[in-house]
Amino acid sequence: MACDVFALANVGVQGLHPYQPGKPIEELQRELGLTSVVKLASNENPLGPSPLAMAAAQAALKQSHLYPDASGFDLKKKLALKLGVSENQFTLGNGSNDVLDLIARTFLSAGSSAVFSQYAFIVYPIAVQAVGARAIVTPAKNWGHDLDAMAAAIEPDTKVVFIANPNNPTGNYLDRASLSAFLAKVPEHVIVVLDEAYIEFAGVEDFPDGLTFLSKYPNIIVTRTFSKAYGLAGLRIGYGVSSPQIADLLNRVRAPFNVSIPAMSAALAVLDDDDYLIRSQQVNSAGMQQLCAGFEALGLSYIPSVGNFVALELPCDAMPVYQALLKEGVIVRPVGVYQMPKHLRISIGLEHENTRCLNALQKLKSEGVLD
Ligand SMILES: *Cc1c(COP(=O)(O)O)cnc(C)c1O
């Protein structure tokens, strides 16, 4: 009695492909018998976790037999104070990815559509398609979001627009004036998601803080995460900030205990670790300069980035280069799933990790692999 379970799945789900994560270090060590491996593939924080966050998570293990505080009271209170908004504007997530999913499940279904850009974060098409909604993908301009095209692409059934600022995997950003002009054009019944996973790294003067638009445009949801600059990717915690009305809706859909006790405790602690955040930013900007100077010395181009990663552009197909880098013990991220077959996304590492990556590229160049 063979049952075709595939046919049972929602139509949107049938068309999905599993998300391709960066290759884990241990996997490469197993496969190639390498001992020393550098992973610059998942935009993780190369400093390791904040010691304050680790101590807090460890202490929180004593409460492991209890369910977490489903309201996230302490964390919301602290975030509210820090960001100048109210507690009832937050939606906590198991990573901000969880919040993006909640947004799709709350506002989208078969019969509605979402707009996002070509080369935008891969989670948007997954979240949209999984709930059976239609994706409207606008062509990129210079590898970035074309906001005029996005505004023009909004249709009567469009309920959500997703914008990553800075964008992953390209690393480029939308400045305050462009974003502001775009928001003024979006109908008020369309939700605009401003995904700010990398905002802490975007140290440019004209970079817009999405929260400053919230009072004027109540249709905005800003999402942020503790995974990148705050170094807690493995604990899974992020959040959305929106109007209280939108937060109320998202919180109805949210699984009540979606954020663990150690994750909330670590997040509370790292918010007090100013030194850690500053070091994250410093290591990132030094590493970005190091890598980009190295690329230039090798005659390679890249998309200028304000994130903690950079998309290197190769003169050839990126997959053989990716494979050859693996043999050198350097894991980076191919972005073929983004329709960028000639790019490799490289996360900024510590100085010696960046050096290792550049040396491996130098070797491949001398071997003609980069031709
Ligand atoms: C990494 C990332 C996220 C979220 O990651 P979480 O770990 O789920 O918080 C969200 N958006 C973009 C663009 C990202 O690159």
Per-10-residue mean pLDDT of the chain, 371 residues long, equals 83 86 90 92 98 98 97 97 98 98 98 97 96 97 97 98 98 98 98 98 97 97 98 98 98 96 98 98 98 98 98 97 96 95 98 98 96 88
On whether the CB atoms of residues 238 and 96 are closer than 8 A, the answer is yes
Place of tokens 């970079």: 207
Distance of CA 24 to the CA centre of its chain: 18
Distance 96 CA to ligand 1 centre (A): 6
C-alpha radius of gyration, the chain, whole number: 21
Measured between alpha carbons, how far is residue 322 from residues 46, 215, 335, 345 in Å?
Answer: 20, 45, 10, 10
- Closest ligand 1 atom to residue 233 Cα is 7
E strand intervals along the chain: 38-39, 90-93, 113-117, 134-138, 158-164, 191-195, 220-225, 238-241, 301-303, 309-313, 330-331, 333-334, 343-347
Nearest CA to ligand 1 atom 11: 197
What φ, ψ does residue 260 adopt, rounded to 5°? -75, 160
| DSSP annotation string for 44-75 | --TT-S-HHHHHHHHHHGGGTTSPP-TT-HHH
How far apart CA 81 and CA 268 sit, in angstroms, is 12
Predicted confidence at residue 15, as pLDDT, reads 87
Residue whose tokens read 């409207």: 136
With a 6 Å cutoff on the Cβ, whether 227 touches ligand 1 is yes
Measure the CA–CA gap between 179 and 286, rounded to whole angstroms.
28
Please state the domain extents for the chain: 8-39+275-366, 51-270
Distance 88 CA to ligand 1 centre (A): 23
Q: Which amino acid is at 297?
A: A
pLDDT at residue 1 in the model: 54
CB contact set of 38 (below 8 Å; sequence gap of 6+): 329, 330, 331, 349, 353, 356, 357
- As a whole number, the mean pLDDT across the chain is 96
**Count of other CB atoms within 10 angstroms of residue 348:** 27
pLDDT value, residue 19: 83
CB atoms within 10 A of CB 225: 26
pLDDT in tens, 303-328: 999 999 999 999 999 999 999 999 99
Query: Which CATH number is 51-270's, of 3.40.449.10, 3.40.50.11540, 3.30.2130.10, 3.40.640.10?
Result: 3.40.640.10
**Whose alpha carbon is nearest atom 10 of ligand 1?**
197
CATH topology classification for 8-39+275-366: Aspartate Aminotransferase, domain 1 (3.90.1150)
Ligand 1 nearest atom to the CA of residue 238, by list position: 9
Pocket lining: 259 vs ligand 1, CB cutoff 6 Å: no
Domain 8-39+275-366 and domain 51-270, same fold? Reply is no
**Which of 100, 228, 258, 305 to probe ligand 1 with, by most ligand atoms within 8 A of CB?**
228
Q: Is the C-beta atom of 222 inside 6 A of ligand 1?
A: no
Q: Calculate the alpha carbon distances from 157 to 10, 15, 105 in Å.
A: 20, 21, 15
